[in-house]
Amino acid sequence: MPFVKDEFFIKEPIPAFVMLMQKYGITQSEAQRIIDRGRILVEGQRLADKAVEISGFTEVVIFRAIAKGIEPIFKTPDFMVFDKPSGVLVHPRKMDTPHSMLDEVRYYGGKKANSTHRIDKETSGLLLASIHKDAEKFLKCAFETKDIQKGYRAWVRGRIDNEFVVKESIIVNDDYSNIKHKVFINNQGKKAQTEYKPILYNSEYDATLLECIPYTGRTHQIRIHLFHVKHPILGDPLYGTSYEIAEAYLEQRLSPEDRLRYTGAKRLMLHAYSLSFEYRNRFFLTSRDDFNRCNDLAQKSIRDNNIYDGYKRLTNVIQI
C-alpha cells in the first residue's frame, strides 16, 4: 500500500514542518502540503496549525512507493517513459489505493519524480514521467501548449478502409439520469479534432485497428468521436452500450463475461502508442506493444449480439 503510517515519539518540541523536513528530507512546501492534507497527527489529534511546535506521540501518513516491476522502457537524467498496462491508475484515487503508476515512477525515478500527464485507468501505453521538478514543469507546460504530440491505437467496431477526420465540439455531461456518458457531441462545447487512419482489418472480429491522432485534448475525445461516427472502441462500457450496461459498469456490477459479451472486449481497446517531443534533443518514442493482437477481443463480432440493434438506436438518439 503506497500510503503508510509512520509512528514515533518526539521528546523536544519542534515546529511540525521542520520535523517533516528533517525526517523525510523534503522541502518546506512539501512538508506544509502534508500538514494541509491532514496527514500528521499528534497524540491522536489531526494537526491544523502549520506553525505550531509539536512533541509526544506523532503519526505521519506518507507516500512510500512499492513497485510491482513495471520498469521504464526509456530513461534519461530528466525523464522516464513507461508502458502502462491497462487497469493501472496513474495516480492513487484515495489513500488506500493498493497500487498506481506513481509507485513505479517514484521507485525508479526518486521522490521528486512525477507523471506529467494522465491516461485513463483502462487505457494502456506510454506514460511520460519527470525525474526532477524542472523537468516536470517543462513537460507539463509542453503538454498544455501541444508541443508534445501523442498518437494512439484503437480497435473499433466494423470495417474502415479510408482515413478520416472528426471535427466535433465536445461538452461535459452534467446530468447522468438518462445517459451515463461523461461527455457529448455538442456545438456549444469546446472545439475538438481527431484524425484516424486504418492500419488493418480483422474479418474474424469485424474490427479495425486505427491510428488515432488527437489535435486537441478534450476528455474522452477519441472515444466520443469514434462513437459519433458509429465505430465505437471495442470494450468501451460507456460509449457504445445501453444505459443499463453503463450503469452496471460504473457500479462495478458488470461481470467480465458480460463485459466481453456486450462490449466486444475484456478491456477498453485503446492504447497510447507514441510520443513525440523535444527536451534538449528531439525524441520520438513508441510502445513496445504494437497492439495488433486480438487476445482481449470477443470470439465473435459485436454485431452478432442482441444488443447491437439497441446500440444503433441509441447512437441515433443522442447525437446532438
Q: Which residues are catalytic?
A: 120
Which alpha helices (H) appear in 25-65, and where do they start and end?
28-36
Compute CA distances 41 → 13, 54, 139, 146, whole Å: 15, 10, 35, 42
Residue 71's CB: how many other CB atoms inside 10 A?
Answer: 12
Question: What is the full DSSP assignment across 260-285?
Answer: HHHHSBSS--EEEEEEEEEESEEEEE
Q: Which three cell numbers stand for residue 120?
A: 485513463
Q: Which three cell numbers stand for residue 6?
A: 509512520
CA dist 267 and 90 (Å) reads 17
CA 234 to chain CA centroid, Å, is 18
CA dist 210 and 233 (Å) reads 10
Sign of CA dihedral 28, 62, 250, 297: positive
